[in-house]
Structures are given as C-alpha cells and as structure tokens.
Amino acid sequence: MTERVVLAYSGGLDTSVAIGWIAEETKAEVVAVAIDCGQGGEDLDAVRQRAIDCGAVDAVVADAKDEFATEYCIPALQANALYMDRYPLVSALSRPLIVRHLADAARYHNATMVAHGCTGKGNDQVRFEAGLAALHPELKVLAPVRDSGMTRDKAIAFAEEKGLPIDVTKKSPYSIDQNLFGRAIETGFLEDIWNAPVEDVYAYSEDPANPRDPDEVVVTFTAGVPTAIDGKELTPLQVIEEMNRRAGAHGVGRIDMVEDRLVGIKSREVYEAPGAIALITAHQELENVTVERDLARFKRGVDQRWGELVYDGLWYSPLKDALDGFIAEANRHVSGDIRMELHGGRAVVTGRRSEKSLYNYELATYDTGDTYDQSNARGFIDVWSMPAKIASLRDQASS
C-alpha cells in the first residue's frame, strides 16, 4: 500500500508546491490539512479545491476558530501570556492547534509522515515538530523548505512547470502569519532594526494617531474567562473578534520589538494584536482586584514560564500541564467587570467591580468609616525589618 503524508496546508505557494514536491520525493500520497484559526482570506472550500488541484489525494479543512479561542487563546489570557513582556504568542498558540489536527488526520488517514513548510531558522518548525513528537511520535517529519532545498525560486519554477493553479506573480514584500489572536509581520526593511515600521504593514489596527472619539467598553470575566462585552454574553471567539474590531479601530496592540528566538538568534518582529492586548490588560487589572498578593507575586513567575514554554514549542509537555494546574486555581475568583477606554493606541482601564473583590473600601479609605487597625503597624514593622536590621548591625560592626 502506498504510504501517506499529511501536509500542513495553507493554500499559499509554498505548501501548494509542497504537495507535488513531496509526492515526487517520497512516492507517497499527500493529504492536505488546512485549519481555519481565524486567519481570514479565502474560504475553506477554495483552499480544499486548490489542494486537490495541486495533486493531493484528499484534503481536510476544518473551521477551528471556536476551538482555537477556547482552548488556546483563553488559557493564554489566563496566563497574561506576553513573551518578553510584549508579545501575546499569536503564532505560538496556533501551532499546537494545527498539530493536533495533523496528528488526528494522520491517524485517520493512516499516514506515516507529516510535512510542514517552515524554514530552519524560525520557531514554528520547533512548534510543529515538538508538538508532533508529543502527540504522534511515530510520524516521520518532512520539511521540504528546510531540508530538501525547496527555495522560493524553485517553488515558483515547480509551480510553472507543473501548471499549478497558483498565482506565482503575486509577490508581497511582507511575510505574514495571522490568526484570530493577532498578526505577525516580517519584511526586509524591518531587518534593519533602526528602521521604524510603516503604516502599510498593519491590517488589524488603524493608525493610533487618527483622530476619533474614544470607545468605552466593559468586559465581564467569569473565573478568568471573558464572557460578556458591554453586558452582552458572548463566546470566547466572539469576545476576541469583537475586541479585535473595537480595539483595532483605535490602534491598540501594535508591537515592535527585538525578540529572542528559540533557535538562538535575535530577530526583529512587528505584531498587531488589538484584542489580545486589550483583553490581557483587562484581565491583569481584574487579577489586581481579585487575586491575593502572595499568589499574584508568584503567579508572575508562573505566567512568564508559561509564555516561554509555549513560545519554545512545548505546549504539549508535562510542565505546561502543571503550570495550567496552578493558573486554573489562581483564576478561580477572577470574576467581575473591567471598564476600559480604547483610544489613541491604548486600552486604559478606568473602572473595576467584582463580587470577588479583595479591595475593601473600609480598610482602604482614609475617610470616615476606616476600619483598618493602625495600632498593628509598629509591631509589624519591627518584626518585618528585623532581619535586615540585624544584618545591618553586623555589617556596621565588621566594616
């Protein structure tokens, strides 16, 4: 029986060419798998048809937007996941989703191989292959762009030679990866890190400098999950879409940074993630209101590690599961409303209210009604400062 390869298929030039390229290289049948995680563009039927037309024996297309929102974006939100304090892991979140679909398709189609179109210097190859190693370790991985010389020029030549139904003349100066949670842009002139991005690179967000009226929005969370906007109940997918639209209209969530890739180099990355940034901002402030201090302090380290782990391609890993155990517990009481003003590139929290609030007006106020017992302070401070004081006496004696 002919062997089968499951290919992560985007519908673009590279992976369309890869169908035939891999078939020639391996003598195997290629099953294309295209996953909609909110990247927009063509409809799935067109993508499916192109795969077939390019030689795939079968094509699996799946609308995974709800799954992506609920099982990948929401956990990231609960972890306030910002790699290097900036980047909300847009691409790093979609890869484990795609990997899960690839592994399922490989089992369904009895495939022995899986293929992706990543290069050898990015993070995504790691996310694909580490994810596959965890979910379906028997599969052999093919990476024609990285391992068998399928350069862009060769891909175009192959497409022309085979008469593939792809427009090879459509050449964007930008290399884009986008999904529901945001958009990543790479392009030659940004590789000079002294150059600023131009307005042209952005698609999910308006120029923050455009004059317009502020937009006030109230996001409701239940146990760390956004469940309503302006009082209207929504699914996670709907919340993210709505916030992308509204925060994007005000230029929220543009990110321009030099980033540490897992593969050992620094790269310059430009992102836009209006919904993600607005929602994380809201979630963080609701945590400030509802999460106890020691837990909040420790959670920062957990959140950081969660983000690094996912960035580094280890979504399917024992540490990720254990961090999730911590984060789920920490989000148990993160319920309530956050009011934000979206304007001029910023999502600014202006109000918070919660039945789970640990903010206590009577303890906090300096006005009438203050119930805080200030007589405890002296004893507290004496004990609190004692270790440093004893050390200081020692240091003075010995210097």
Site for a second copy in 362-381 (CB under 8 A): 363-367, 370, 372-381
Q: Least distance in Å: CB of 397 to a second copy?
A: 8
Q: Which of 124, 177, 303, 337 is catalytic?
A: 124
165 SS3 class: coil
- DSSP label at 198? P
Q: Taking CB under 8 A as the criterion, which residues in 22-41 touch a second copy?
A: none
User: Is 12 labeled as ligand-binding?
Assistant: yes
For a second copy, the closer of residues 1 and 388 by Cβ is 388
Active site residue 305: no
List, as own/partner pairs, every contact residues 314-321 make where C-beta atoms lie below 8 angstroms and the sequence separation is at least 24, other chains included.
314/130, 315/92, 315/95, 315/96, 315/127, 315/131, 316/96, 316/99, 316/130, 316/131, 316/134, 316/135, 317/134
Q: How far apart are CA 201 and CA 210, in angstroms?
A: 16
User: Is 357 labeled as ligand-binding?
Assistant: no
Active site residue 337: no
User: Is 63 labeled as ligand-binding?
Assistant: no
User: Is 160 labeled as ligand-binding?
Assistant: no
DSSP 199-251: GGG-SSS--TTS----EEEEEEEETTEEEEETTEE--HHHHHHHHHHHHHTTT
| φ, ψ of residue 347 in degrees (nearest 5) | -110, 105
- Tokens 């934000």 sit on residue: 340
Q: 78 Cβ partners below 8 Å, 6+ apart?
A: 224, 225, 283, 327, 328, 330, 331, 334
Strand partners, 342: 215, 347
For position 146 contacting a second copy by CB under 8 A, the verdict is yes
Q: Which of the ranges 14-22, 90-98, 241-249, 296-304 carries the binding residues for a second copy, by CB under 8 A?
A: 296-304
346 SS3 class: strand
Q: Taking CB under 8 A as the criterion, which residues in 71-90 touch a second copy?
A: 84-85
For position 192 contacting a second copy by CB under 8 A, the verdict is yes
For position 109 contacting a second copy by CB under 8 A, the verdict is no
For position 295 contacting a second copy by CB under 8 A, the verdict is yes
Q: Which of 4, 14, 183, 303 is catalytic?
A: 14
User: Is 91 labeled as ligand-binding?
Assistant: no
Amino acid at 273: A
For position 180 contacting a second copy by CB under 8 A, the verdict is no
Count residues near a second copy (CB under 8 A).
131
Q: How far apart are CA 122 and CA 3, in angstroms?
A: 29
Q: Least distance in Å: CB of 97 to a second copy?
A: 17
- Distance linking the first and last C-alpha atoms of the chain: 82
> Which one among 1, 2, 27, 137 touches a second copy, defined by CB under 8 A?
137
Give the residue among 335, 296, 216, 244 at the shortest CA–CA distance from 38.
244
Q: Which of the ranges 2-10, 158-166, 240-248, 301-309 carries the binding residues for a second copy, by CB under 8 A?
A: 301-309
Site string for a second copy, 303-332 (x = CB under 8 A): -xx--xx--xxx-xxxx-xxxxxxxxxx--
User: Is 148 labeled as ligand-binding?
Assistant: no
Active site residue 245: no
User: Is 123 labeled as ligand-binding?
Assistant: yes
Q: Which of 48, 50, 95, 100 is catalytic?
A: 95
Site string for a second copy, 332-361 (x = CB under 8 A): -x-----x-x-xxxx-xxxxxx-xxxxxxx
| φ, ψ of residue 156 in degrees (nearest 5) | -65, -45
Active site residue 175: yes
Q: Which of 43, 147, 148, 175 is catalytic?
A: 175
Q: Which of the ranges 41-49, 154-162, 164-172, 208-216 carries the binding residues for a second copy, by CB under 8 A?
A: 208-216
Strand partners, 63: 36
Amino acid at 286: L
Q: Return the structure tokens found at 167.
A: 């427009």
State the binding site for L-citrulline.
87, 123, 127, 175, 259, 271
What positions carry a catalytic annotation? Answer: 14, 95, 124, 175
